[in-house]
Amino acid sequence: MQGIPVTDLAEEFGTPFFLYDGDVLEGTYREVRRLLHPGVDLFFSLKANPNVSVCAVLGALGSGAEVSSLAELRTALWAGIAPQDIIFLGPGKTQREIEACVSTGLRAVVCESPAELQRLERAAREQGRTDVPVLLRINPDFVTKGSGLAMGGKPRQFGMDVTLLRKQRHQLRELRHLRVRGLHAYMGTRFLRHQDIVHNTREVLRLAAELSAELDIPCEIVDIGGGFGVAYFDNEADLDLPALAAGADEVIDGFLRTHPGSQVICELGRYLTAMCGTYVSRVLDVKESMGTRFAVTDGGTNHHMAAVGVGSFVKRNFPMRSLTRPAGTGQQPYTVTGPLCTPNDVLGKNVLLPQVEPGDLIGVERSGAYGPSASPGLFLSHGFPAEVMVRAGCAHLVRVRDTVDDLLSRQRLIDE
Ligand SMILES: *Cc1c(COP(=O)(O)O)cnc(C)c1O
């Protein structure tokens, strides 16, 4: 990576680890920024990768942050992102989170229900505020196509149904400590067809304009969600970003013509970080069972549940390769598994790899999003792996691996 052999990094930092190419991260952000409408503000969804250094690279390039917990909020601030460039969203905000939302001076708090609106109003009153900016999250009533995980058109714990929101006109008028600035909708994740994203953007902006007129609330900020996908599996193709940008431009121009001075926010997690990351694990054992060759590594489900695909019906492989030997002739299928005592702990099934020996490194690519943050890191008490970022030719440890002592120190032994 950037001229540094990954084998050297593995020696220096140990395995398994997540390896981030900070320059690829920067390149991805710049590409999105260059192509998307200049009227769109980009917000990085920390959920996809809450590493503070990842967040700092994006923040330094001008990205805002979309956070959903106190720790994510602190991470974004630590990464140098200004409070006014942060939005806080998520169902089930605790009282401490509500108070932090009010006191931090955020761009906006995304409100998920009428009751939460009242809790926010109360917290704002107690803090003597009269203008806490709020976006109302809509659970859209139209179904979206093409998402790996669709949001609209179904009962959801997120946001407010359009019919419910329509009944809030009076309640919204009564707010004295909050200032409703617009609406938010998130249609789902892993969209790979630009047509679907353009369609959703059009529908969300149309609905936001309609609701703001109907409810007599401003439409100064509309958060159109995001959910841009990356291709992981054989039968998938990457999003056509230029086509997406061209289609969205027309829709956004149309909206800004009727709502001059409005801001459109786009939240991106996976798209910004997936490509820059590789999950690196070391082969501990090579063996055969009933005609299948297994390469057993020191990393698996506990760090990279997305690649393992637990919960999905068929096992599909993320792109994988040997980081020790060049791909070439004589590749053979290996099933690459982790150290856990479950048959589901399979990183890749029948992956074509050059001859694999114990000690070799295996890389799972496109792994910079929803890795550690979406994996059961305590499973079998291995703890979370190290994270390393290579930036401008230098390798930095950006997360220290959990040690046995770290794990045990959180427990308490009762006297028997
Ligand atoms: C998860 C989430 C995101 C990020 O989604 P990606 O598909 O990773 O871009 C953005 N907004 C909301 C509301 C989310 O829940």
Q: Which residues on neighbouring strands pair with residue 45, listed in sequence order?
A: 66
Q: How far is CA 385 from CA 14, 51, 270, 334, in A?
A: 9, 12, 20, 24
Q: Is any atom of ligand 1 closer than 6 Å to the C-beta of 89?
A: yes
CB of residue 186 inside a 6 A radius of ligand 1: yes
Ligand 1 atom nearest residue 186's Cα = 13
Protein residue closest via CA to atom 10 of ligand 1: 267
Q: Is the distance from the beta carbon of residue 188 to the nearest atom of ligand 1 less than 6 Å?
A: no
Q: 266 CA to middle of ligand 1, Å?
A: 10
Q: What's phi and psi for 82, nearest 5 deg?
A: -70, 145
From first CA to last CA, the distance across the chain in angstroms is 53
269 lines ligand 1 (CB under 6 A): yes
Could you tell me the distance, in angstroms and rounded to a whole number, from the CA of residue 287 to the centre of ligand 1?
40
Query: CA dihedral in degrees (281, 287, 293, 298; nearest 10)?
Result: -10
Centre of ligand 1 to C-alpha 189, Å, is 6
Length of the chain: 416
Q: Ligand 1 centroid vs 274 CA: distance in angstroms?
A: 13
List, in sequence order, every residue forming a beta bridge with 295; answer none if it has no partner: 286, 336
- Residue 48 Cα: closest atom of ligand 1: 8
Instruction: Identify the residue whose C-alpha is closest to ligand 1 atom 1.
Output: 47
Atom of ligand 1 nearest to the CA of 268: 9
C-alpha separations of 124 from 93, 102, 103, 111 in Å:
15, 6, 8, 13
CA-CA distance, 318 to 189, in Å (whole number)?
Answer: 17
Tens place of pLDDT per residue across the chain (416 aa): 999 999 999 999 999 999 999 999 999 999 999 999 999 999 999 999 999 999 999 999 999 999 999 999 999 999 999 999 999 999 999 999 999 999 999 999 999 999 999 999 999 999 999 999 999 999 988 766 666 665 667 888 999 999 999 999 999 999 999 999 999 999 889 999 999 999 999 999 999 999 999 999 999 999 999 899 999 999 999 999 999 999 999 999 999 999 999 999 999 999 999 999 999 999 999 999 999 999 999 999 999 999 988 666 778 999 999 999 999 888 999 999 999 999 999 999 999 999 999 999 999 999 999 999 999 999 999 999 999 999 999 999 999 999 999 999 999 999 99
d(CA 393, CA 50): 23
| Best CA proximity match to 407, nearest among 374, 383, 385 | 383
Taking the centre of ligand 1 as the mean of its atom positions, its distance from the CA of residue 75, in whole angstroms, is 17
Residue 45 in contact with ligand 1 by CB distance below 6 A: yes
Domains and CATH numbers, the chain: 36-268 (3.20.20.10), 275-409 (2.40.37.10)
**Residue 356, Cα to own-chain centre: how many angstroms?**
33
Q: Measured from the CA of 270, which atom of ligand 1 is nearest?
A: 8
Is the whole model's pTM more than 0.75, yes or no?
yes
Beta-ladder partners of 44: 65, 268
